[in-house]
Structure 1
Amino acid sequence: MTTYTTRKDVPEQEKWDLTDIYETEEAWKEDVDASLELAKDLSSYNGKIDSGASLLNFLTTQEKLSFKLRKVFAYSMFLTDIDTRDSHAQKLNAKATQVSVKVSEATAFFMPFLLSLDEDTLKHYIKEVKELEYFEDELWKSFRFKDHVLTKEKEELLSQLSESLQAPGETYGMLNNADIQFGYVTDENGENVQLTRGMYSKLIEDEDREKRKEAYVAYYKPYVELNNTIASNLSSEVKTNATLAKVRNYESTLQKELFADNVPTDVYENLLASAKANIQPLHDYTAFRKEKLGVEELRQYDLNVPLTPGAKADIPYEEAYETMLTALQPLGEDYINTLNEFKEKRYIDVRETPAKRSGAYNMGLYGVHPFVLLNHHDDLNSLFTLVHEMGHAMHSHYSSKHQPQITAQYRIFVAEVASTVNEVLLIQHLLKETNDEEMRAYLLNHFIEQFRGTFFTQVMFADFEKQTHERAEAGEPLNAESLNELYEELFRTYNGPDIVFNDEVKYGWSRIPHFYRAFYVYQYATGFVSAIQIATRILEGEEGALEKYMTFLQSGSSDDPLELLKQAGVDLTTSEPVEAAMKRFAETVEELKKI
């Protein structure tokens, strides 16, 4: 495995070329100054937009500023991420954040102003100035919120309360990231050491069951001890969400949170119903896991240990990239050629080095290109991460290439589709190429665990969110006891009767930060089943499937997410995508059992 002790040792070809954004830091500073000037210009429109011409001038200036600000922020963020100890990069990032705050302050007046207009006035402005047609769709999308905007006085009051209303999420963030102290575990030298999250992720997959149990109990220790405090905090968050939905004239919190993407609540309801109706294969897998592990009682700390010794093959980065290119051949020549260019043109920062930001991400930068951060380890997991992130990068590339700036950024609802399509294609390629039974079992198990984590677990979380908010809307109590009982019941429903519960299971809800971003997690599940259906159709050579998918990748946010997926052949207003994915899951479980 290739390791580097300093960033200087990494080949230039495997590092970002940030001169693609700015040739020099001076050029960055010029855009910082220009952004501040443009922010001043925008603030001068407050109370002075009274015609189509003035509306156009404001929107044009705002888009120009948005283009510069995104580059300013990306450049400083990338410098910080490649070395988080770099104090100079931190200063640049802090400056970019300050500029962003000033821009937000300068433009805060616009949305209340827009929604204060009557429909005829807005139509008149658009008709008056032809160039406003470019902004028309976005203006009308914003205008959809008109029925949910309050009087100016009430909006100002809510604005003043915004910091307080965000307190539960901020409190949980501090508690979970800064204050929580996990219990102790025994290290390889037999000494007691305090558990960390990084240690837990490794120990919960350890072949030694006692080590898994020890880590599990130590991990849940603070959540058990702080159960009442965290329950009170989440209760405040949920009740605040329910109150704001009512104040803003929504039928429910669920409707409010899905409104921006124009997703009917039926889609959410159908997702939960379809998952529960097709849950048996997951229960079968849980029973098989118990049998394979040879335990008398299957516990929660047995759910993450790999069922096969695994694939510890050394896969150098060059080989991983070639494997990816081969696996993604079904996506066509242009897709493959573009991926080749990404590597040659240094769009990817490949290697783990001291103080580099952990994990992996893609950031598409309109007018420049996508930037992908990796911490590549020359193993199979890194190959999957590479393929995943390059799916995001290609989505960014195609959307930026085929869309104007205003619609180039795709929505979160569809964000995981392209990355998961790539992963499915990779798994199918590797399964086709391997004759090794152990490797085959490992790949099938990997796919099953991806299903479990990205679909079933997220649907369970979504179910929990729905029921807690419905209870708040009905005025029912939300306390530690009721939250624990609900989560334990849902865990049993989704994971099946073969698990013997430790007391810690019921506290699982208290460790999920996504619950402070209401009705967000369901999008992981919808994106996953959409990708399964798209990839399957492409692999089966269905006529028009590839063309529809490429159109989807090129569409950015040019239409509502549900419509874009329909055009790609996936209709989430029906149960078909979930049922097709569940059929695929069941077949994979059966194949693993045979091996």
Structure 2
Amino acid sequence: MKTYQSRKDVPNEEKWDLTDLFANEEAWQEKLDECSKLADKLKEYDGKITDGSSLLHYLKTQEELSFHIRKVFAYTMFLSDIDTRDSHAQKLSSKTTKLGVKVSESTSFFMPFLLSLEEETLRSYLSEEKELEYFEDELWKSFRFKDHVLTKEKEELLSQLSESFQAPGDTFNMLNNADIQFGEVTNEAGERVQLTRGMYSKLIEDENRDVRKEAYKAYYKPYVELNNTIATTLAAEVKTNATMAKVRNYDSAIHKALFSDNIDLTVYTQLIDAAKKHIEPLHQYARLRKEKLGVDELRQYDLNAPIVSGVKAEIPYDEAYDKMIEALKPLGTDYVERLKEFKEKRYIDVRETPAKRSGAYNMGVYGVHPFVLLNHHDDLNSLFTLVHEMGHALHSHYSSKHQPQITANYRIFVAEVASTVNEILLIHYMLNQTTDTKMRAYLLNHFIEQFRGTFFTQVMFADFEKQTHERAEAGEPLDAESLNELYEELFRTYNGPDIVFDDEVKYGWSRIPHFYRAFYVYQYATGFASAIQIASRILEQKEGALESYLTFLQSGSSDDPLELLKRAGVDLTTSEPVEAAMKTFSELVDELNQL
């Protein structure tokens, strides 16, 4: 594995070329100043949009600002991410942040104004200016919220209280990220060191069970000690969601959360019902895990330990890229050519260097191209990460190429589909290529773990969110005891009777930041199930499967997410996609059992 002590040592072809955004810092500063002037211009429209012409000019100016500010923000973000210690990059980022605040203040009047209009008035504005056709769909999407907007006085009051409404999440984030200190554990050198989150993610996968247990106990210790405090923050968050839904005339908190994407509640409930109905293969996998680990009792700290060891193939970056191209050939010639272009034109920042942001991401910049950040380690996990992020990147590329700016960004609901399709195609390619039994078992297990983490665990979280909000809406108590009992019951339902529970299991809910962004996590599971069905259709070469998928990648947010997925052959208003995914999971577990 290649390691670099300095960014200067990384070959240029493995680093971003940020001149695609701005030739130099002076050009960036000029664009920043231009954006500031555009923000001032937008503020002048407050109270002065009285006809179709003034509405059109406001929207065109806003879109122009949006186009430029995305580039301005991306430039400073990328500079900061390649070296988080760079004080000059931080200084530029603070300028971007100030600009963002200014833009938010300058445009804050518009949505209340739009939703204060009568429908007839908006229609008259649209009829006055033909160019408003470009903005019409987005205006009507926003106008859907009219029934959930209150009087001007009440909206102003809620706006003044908005910081208070954020307090439960802010408090949890401060506790979770700043105040919580984990206990000490023994590192590989036999030294006692303070446990960190990054360290925990590695230790909980260690082959030594004593190491896993010690890390597990240390990690959960502060959550156990702060159980009542965190229960109070989550209860406040849930009750706030329930209250705001009622105040804004929604049937429930979950209806409010699903409204913006026009998602029917049955999509959510069918997901949970189907997962529970087909949960037995996951329980079977737990029994297999217990057998392979050779433990008398399977415990939570055994669930991430490797059951297929000794597979540590070194795959240099160039070889990994070639493997990806071979694996993704079923997506067609143009897709493959675009993949090659990303590497050749330096759209990817490849190597881990000191103080570089951890993890990986894709960020599309409309009018330029997507940028991908990696921390590539020349191993199997890095290959899967590469393939995953390039799925996001090609989704961004095709949407930007085929959509106008207003609909180029795809919604969160469909965001994980393209990345997961790529991973599935890679696994199938590697399974077909390998003759090594251990490697085959490793790949099957990798896929099963993806299912467990991205599908079953997220459905369990979604179930927990649904039940906690229902209890709040029914006036039932949400305290530490009731939250612990609910989570423990759900954990047993989903993970099966073969796991022996340590006391820490029931506190698992208290460490999940996603619960402060209600009804978000279910989208990971629906996206995963959708990707399973799409990849299967492509691999089986079903008529129109590839064409409909490529059309989906080109569609951005040009329609509601459910409609876009239907065109790709996935109808989440029925239980079929989830049922099909459950069938795939069962087959994977069966084959791994046989191996």
The aligned residue for residue 399 of structure 1 is 399
Q: What is the alpha-carbon distance in structure 1 between the residues aligned to residue 535 and residue 187 of structure 2?
A: 43
Q: What is the alpha-carbon distance in structure 1 between the residues aligned to residue 77 and residue 411 of structure 2?
A: 21
Q: What is the alpha-carbon distance in structure 1 between the residues aligned to residue 154 and residue 518 of structure 2?
A: 23
Q: What is the alpha-carbon distance in structure 2 between the residues aligned to residue 494 and residue 273 of structure 1?
A: 12
Deviations 1:521-547 (A, max 9, x none): 000000000000000110011110000
Matches within 5 A, 1:50-449: 50-449=50-449
1:570 aligns with 2:566: no
CA shift at 1:24, angstroms?
A: 1.3
Q: What is the alpha-carbon distance in structure 1 between the residues aligned to residue 252 and residue 120 of structure 2?
A: 29
Deviations 1:383-437 (A, max 9, x none): 0000000000000000000000000000000000000000000000000000111
SS of the aligned residue for 1:573 comes to: coil
Q: What is the alpha-carbon distance in structure 1 between the residues aligned to residue 187 and residue 535 of structure 2?
A: 43
Deviations 1:443-466 (A, max 9, x none): 000000000000000000000000
In structure 2, what residue type is equivalent to 1:437? T
The aligned residue for residue 32 of structure 1 is 32
Q: What is the alpha-carbon distance in structure 1 between the residues aligned to residue 263 and residue 427 of structure 2?
A: 31
Q: Indicate the percent of aligned positions where both proteins have the same amino acid.
A: 78
Q: What is the alpha-carbon distance in structure 2 between the residues aligned to residue 260 and residue 47 of structure 1?
A: 27
Deviations 1:229-258 (A, max 9, x none): 000010011001110000000000000001
Q: What is the alpha-carbon distance in structure 1 between the residues aligned to residue 291 and residue 339 of structure 2?
A: 43
Q: What is the alpha-carbon distance in structure 1 between the residues aligned to residue 54 and residue 115 of structure 2?
A: 16
CA shift at 1:190, angstroms?
A: 3.4
In structure 1, what residue type is equivalent to 2:273? A
Deviations 1:82-103 (A, max 9, x none): 0111111101111011101100
CA shift at 1:191, angstroms?
A: 3.4
CA shift at 1:310, angstroms?
A: 4.2
SS of the aligned residue for 2:509 comes to: helix
SS of the aligned residue for 1:126 comes to: helix
Deviations 1:138-158 (A, max 9, x none): 000000000000000010011
Assess if the C-alpha contact under 8 Å between 1:245 and 1:251 holds in 2: yes
Q: What is the alpha-carbon distance in structure 1 between the residues aligned to residue 66 and residue 86 of structure 2?
A: 26
In structure 2, what residue type is equivalent to 1:236? A
Q: What is the alpha-carbon distance in structure 2 between the residues aligned to residue 485 and residue 317 of structure 1?
A: 47
CA shift at 1:206, angstroms?
A: 1.1
In structure 2, what residue type is equivalent to 1:25? E
CA shift at 1:189, angstroms?
A: 4.0
SS of the aligned residue for 1:176 comes to: helix
The aligned residue for residue 493 of structure 1 is 493
In structure 2, what residue type is equivalent to 1:196? T
Q: What is the alpha-carbon distance in structure 2 between the residues aligned to residue 218 and residue 425 of structure 1?
A: 38
Assess if the C-alpha contact under 8 Å between 1:83 and 1:356 holds in 2: yes
Deviations 1:278-319 (A, max 9, x none): 111111111111122121111001100011104211100000
CA shift at 1:266, angstroms?
A: 1.1
SS of the aligned residue for 1:372 comes to: strand
SS of the aligned residue for 1:432 comes to: helix
Q: What is the alpha-carbon distance in structure 2 between the residues aligned to residue 374 and residue 19 of structure 1?
A: 19
Q: What is the alpha-carbon distance in structure 2 between the residues aligned to residue 188 and residue 354 of structure 1?
A: 21
In structure 2, what residue type is equivalent to 1:455? F
SS of the aligned residue for 2:61 comes to: helix
Q: What is the alpha-carbon distance in structure 2 between the residues aligned to residue 187 and residue 285 of structure 1?
A: 30
1:2 aligns with 2:6: no
Q: What is the alpha-carbon distance in structure 2 between the residues aligned to residue 291 and residue 114 of structure 1?
A: 62
Scaled by the length of structure 2, what TM-score is found? 0.99
In structure 1, what residue type is equivalent to 2:418? A
Assess if the C-alpha contact under 8 Å between 1:310 and 1:442 holds in 2: no
1:450 aligns with 2:450: yes
Q: What is the alpha-carbon distance in structure 2 between the residues aligned to residue 190 and residue 40 of structure 1?
A: 60
Q: What is the alpha-carbon distance in structure 2 between the residues aligned to residue 391 and residue 478 of structure 1?
A: 40
SS of the aligned residue for 1:378 comes to: coil
Q: What is the alpha-carbon distance in structure 2 between the residues aligned to residue 346 and residue 440 of structure 1?
A: 33
CA shift at 1:187, angstroms?
A: 2.5
SS of the aligned residue for 1:319 comes to: helix
Q: What is the alpha-carbon distance in structure 2 between the residues aligned to residue 188 and residue 406 of structure 1?
A: 52
SS of the aligned residue for 1:182 comes to: coil
SS of the aligned residue for 1:297 comes to: coil
SS of the aligned residue for 2:458 comes to: helix
Q: What is the alpha-carbon distance in structure 1 between the residues aligned to residue 367 and residue 310 of structure 2?
A: 42
CA shift at 1:565, angstroms?
A: 0.2
In structure 1, what residue type is equivalent to 2:29? K
SS of the aligned residue for 2:53 comes to: helix
SS of the aligned residue for 2:356 comes to: coil
Q: After the TM superposition, which of the residue ranges 359-368 and 307-316 deviates more from structure 2? A: 307-316
The aligned residue for residue 537 of structure 1 is 537
Q: What is the alpha-carbon distance in structure 1 between the residues aligned to residue 111 and residue 208 of structure 2?
A: 57
Q: What is the alpha-carbon distance in structure 2 between the residues aligned to residue 549 and residue 288 of structure 1?
A: 36
CA shift at 1:188, angstroms?
A: 3.3
CA shift at 1:192, angstroms?
A: 2.4
Mark the runs of 5 or more structure 1 residues left unpaired by the alignment.
none
SS of the aligned residue for 2:435 comes to: coil
Q: What is the alpha-carbon distance in structure 1 between the residues aligned to residue 59 and residue 186 of structure 2?
A: 60
Q: What is the alpha-carbon distance in structure 1 between the residues aligned to residue 37 and residue 494 of structure 2?
A: 55
SS of the aligned residue for 2:415 comes to: helix
Q: What is the alpha-carbon distance in structure 1 between the residues aligned to residue 203 and residue 78 of structure 2?
A: 32
SS of the aligned residue for 2:447 comes to: helix
Assess if the C-alpha contact under 8 Å between 1:200 and 1:219 holds in 2: yes
SS of the aligned residue for 1:363 comes to: strand
Q: What is the alpha-carbon distance in structure 2 between the residues aligned to residue 586 and residue 326 of structure 1?
A: 27
In structure 2, what residue type is equivalent to 1:549? Y
Q: What is the alpha-carbon distance in structure 2 between the residues aligned to residue 517 and residue 335 of structure 1?
A: 34
The aligned residue for residue 484 of structure 1 is 484
In structure 1, what residue type is equivalent to 2:214? E
The aligned residue for residue 519 of structure 1 is 519
Assess if the C-alpha contact under 8 Å between 1:310 and 1:439 holds in 2: no
In structure 1, what residue type is equivalent to 2:213? K
The aligned residue for residue 528 of structure 2 is 528
Deviations 1:173-219 (A, max 9, x none): 11101110111212334332221111111111111111111111011
SS of the aligned residue for 2:362 comes to: strand
Q: What is the alpha-carbon distance in structure 2 between the residues aligned to residue 237 and residue 517 of structure 1?
A: 9
Q: After the TM superposition, which of the residue ranges 530-539 and 290-299 deviates more from structure 2? A: 290-299
Q: What is the alpha-carbon distance in structure 2 between the residues aligned to residue 129 and residue 385 of structure 1?
A: 47
Q: What is the alpha-carbon distance in structure 1 between the residues aligned to residue 186 and residue 122 of structure 2?
A: 67
In structure 1, what residue type is equivalent to 2:409? Q
Q: What is the alpha-carbon distance in structure 1 between the residues aligned to residue 122 and residue 311 of structure 2?
A: 60
